[in-house]
Structure 1
Amino acid sequence: MRYVVAVAETGGFTRAAERCHVVQSALSHQIARLEKELGARLFHRTSRSVRLTAAGEAFVPVARQALEAADRARAEVEAVAGEVRGRLAVGAISTVAAVDLARELGAYRARYPQVRISLRMEMSEQLIEQVRQGTLDVAFVGLVPGARSQGVRERALAHGELVAVVPPGHPLAGREWTDLPRLAEETFVDFTAGSAARRQRDEAFRAAGLTTEVAFEVTTVEFLAKLVRAGLGIGMVPQAFASELTGLSVVRVHSAPARVERVVWNRLGPSPAAAAFLAALGVDPSDPGTDPDRVPAVPAAQST
C-alpha cells in the first residue's frame, strides 16, 4: 500500500522507489503482486506517464487511511511508553498571525525530535478538507465569525479585522481611517470568489448594501501585495498581518470586515504528536467546547 500511494503521489515508479528507499524493480514487483491479488490494474503505464485506473482511484484513498491508522496505532503505543513519535503534518493560511508558527514549530521540534514535521500553505477551504481527510493533523485557518466547519473540531485563536492596503500615492494613502462606501469606489485585488478569505470582505460590503469590482483574483497575500504595489487596485488583509507588507499604506476601516483565526483538527481526535502541539498552543483537544469562536484562556501567542 505504501508503494502504491507513493507512485500515485509522485507520478512515477522511479520517484516512488526513491521515496520508499527501495530499488525500482522491487517496488514494481510488489505492486504487480498486489494487483494480481486484487484482480485489477491500479495504474495505466506508458513510456511517458503513469496514472491511476478507476480501480486505483478507488484504492488509494482507502490505502492512505489504512496506512495512517497503522502509523497512529504505533504512535499511540509509543505515547503510552512516554515517547511522542510519528508525524505532525501542519497546514496554514499565508496570513496566519495568531501564532508565531515558525517559533512554535521550532520549539516543538526541540522538545520532540522524534516527530516528523511538515508544513503546507493553502487556502482555508483546502486546509479544512485535508484535515477532514487525515492528510493534515492540524491547520490554522481564517474564517468569518460564526462559520462552522463540518467534519473537524476547532478552536478560536484570535479575533481581528481587515484593513485596506493601498499603493503609495493613492488618495487614501495619507489617511488613517476610511469607510466601506469610499472603498467600494475602488477596484479590488482579492482572493478567489467563494473562498473563506473572500467571504470575509464580501459579506461586510453586502451587509452594508454595497457592491465592489474585483478585477484581480489571487491565492496568496504576497501576490495580492505585488498587484497593489503596481497600482492595479487596492486590497484588504488582516490588520495583524498588514505590517509585514512593505511598500504599502495601511488604512483602518469603520465597520471593517471581521475574521477569526482558528486551529482545526480531525473530529476523531488528534494523534499524540498533534495533541502535544495543540497543548503547546493552549488548546485542550479533550474540551468539547460549544463555541468554536471562543479564544482559549491561554492565548497561543503567549505559549512557550
Structure 2
Amino acid sequence: MRILDMTTFVALARHRHFGRAAQELHTTQPAISIRLAAMEREFGCKLMHRTGRDFALTPAGERVLETFQAILASYDGLKQELADDPSMASKVVRIGAIDSVSSTWMTPLVENLHATFPTLKIELTVEGTKSLIQGMNEGAFDVIFAVDPAIGNNFRSFTACTLQMIWAGSSRIIDPKRTYSVDDLARMPIITFPKDTPPYRMIAPYFQDEQVLASKLTSSNSLYSIINLLIDGFGVGAIPTVTIQRELKMGLLHPIRVSKRFPPMPIIGSYQATAQVELIRRVVEQARLSAAQFCATVDPAMAWVD
C-alpha cells in the first residue's frame, strides 16, 4: 500500500466528494476511483458505499481510515524528523539499475525516497549488469539492481524480487495457438542481449548448444530495442513478462506456448556496506518495500518476492 493511496483515502473520507478530493490532490476523479478500486481489491472488501455522488464509509472503511490516519501521522513525524536531521542534508545516493528494474519499480522507489528523505539527491544510471558491477567495483555506485551480484568484502547482496520470463513474438512470425518445442524455437531468429551478458547466459543453456544460435542471433543491450525488434517481427525472444504487459494487452506481442519453460530471472540488489552505512541501509529498506509494492500490483505469476 502506497503513501499516495493512504493519502487519497483520507482525503476522500474527509471531503466525501470525488471532485474535491481530486482537486486537493491535484489529480483527476478517474484517478481517485482507480486508487479506491485498487485498495478495495487489496483488502478484499468494500470500503465505501456509493450512490450517485453520495457515499459513506463501510465499517471496514472506518477501520481503514483510522489506521491510515495513524500511519500518515507517524509518517509525517518521521519525515519531519529526517528533514531536520543534519546528517541527511545534501546527501547523495548513486543508484544503478538494469532496464527491467527501471521500467517497473524504479519510479516508485525514487518517489518513496524523495518522500522519506526530502533533501536526498538521487543519481540514477540505467546500464547492463556487467557495466553496473564494474561501476560498483570502481566505486561509482552505492546500490545497484542487476541480474548478478557484486562480489567483494565491502558488498552485501539480496534478492529484491524475481521476474517471470516468457518467450514472446509478433503474430507476424508465430502462431499464438501453437506449442513450440526447443527445436522449433532454435530454427527461428532469436532476439536477445549481447553475448557474455547474464541474460544471454540464460538463453544458451536453454538450447544446450550455443552453435544453434550462431546464425540466428540478433543482439541489443537495450530492453526497449529488443521489444521493438520483437514487435516488428525480426525474431522471438525470452523477456520478463512485466516489461511487456502493455504490448501483450494491445496484441502487439503474444506469449509463445513452449514445451520447455524459461527459468525466472532474479533481480539482485548489491550495496556498499562500508560507506554511508545508515543512509544505504534506509535506501535498501525502501528498495525492498518498493519491489514488494510493485509485485503486489501485478499478477503474482509475473513477479514475486521470496
Common fold by TM > 0.5: yes
Residue of structure 2 aligned with 1:89, choices 74, 89, 94? 94
Aligned partner of 2:202 among 176, 179, 200: 200
Q: Distance in 2 between matches of 1:216 and 1:88?
A: 35
- The Cα of 1:211 is off from its aligned counterpart by 2.8
Cα gap change, 1:195 to 1:214, in 2 (>3 Å): farther
CA distance in 2, matches of 1:153, 1:245: 36
Amino acid at match of 1:154: S
In the TM superposition, what whole-angstrom CA distance separates every residue of 1:131-183 from its partner, at most 9, and x where no partner exists?
2222111111124xxxx5422321012234421121123233344x5342321
Pick from 262, 277, 294 the counterpart of residue 268 of structure 2. Answer: 262
Q: Superposition RMSD on alpha carbons, in Å?
A: 3.1
> Contact (CA 8 Å) 1:95, 1:238: kept in 2 or not?
yes
Match of residue 163, structure 1, among 166, 190, 194: 166
Candidates 248, 254, 260, aligned match of 2:253: 248
* Aligned match of 2:137: 132
2:279 maps to which of 253, 263, 273: 273
Give how far 1:97 is off: 7.8
Per the TM alignment, residue 237 of structure 1 is displaced from its structure 2 partner at its CA by 0.5
Amino acid at match of 1:249: H
Is the 1:166–1:233 Cα contact (8 Å) retained in structure 2? yes
Rounded Cα–Cα distance in structure 2 between residues aligned with 1:142 and 1:89 = 18
Partner of 2:151: 150
Secondary structure at 2:267 match in 1:
strand
Q: 5+ unaligned residues in a row in structure 1: which ranges?
A: 1-77, 284-297
Instruction: Give the partner amino acid of 1:166.
Output: G
- Which residue does the alignment assign to 1:21? none
Instruction: Report the alpha carbon displacement of residue 195 of structure 1 after superposing the two structures with TM.
Output: 0.6
Name the CA distance, whole Å, in 2 between partners of 1:174 and 1:220. Answer: 29
Q: Alignment partner of 1:194: what SS?
A: coil
Give the number of the structure whose residues are more often helix, by fraction: 2
CA deviation after TM superposition for structure 1 residue 124, in Å: 0.7
Instruction: Say yes or no: does 1:182 pair with 2:184.
Output: yes
Output the CA distance in 1 between the equivalents of 2:174 and 2:287: 41
- The residue number in structure 1 matching 2:240 is 238
Aligned residue-pair number: 206
- Corresponding residue for residue 175 of structure 2: 172
CA contact 2:136–2:150 (8 Å) conserved in 1: no
CA deviations 1:204-244 (Å, max 9, x no partner) are 222x8983244321011111122222222111111232314
Q: TM-score, normalised by structure 2?
A: 0.58
SS at match of 2:101: coil
Alignment TM-score, normalising by the size of structure 1: 0.59
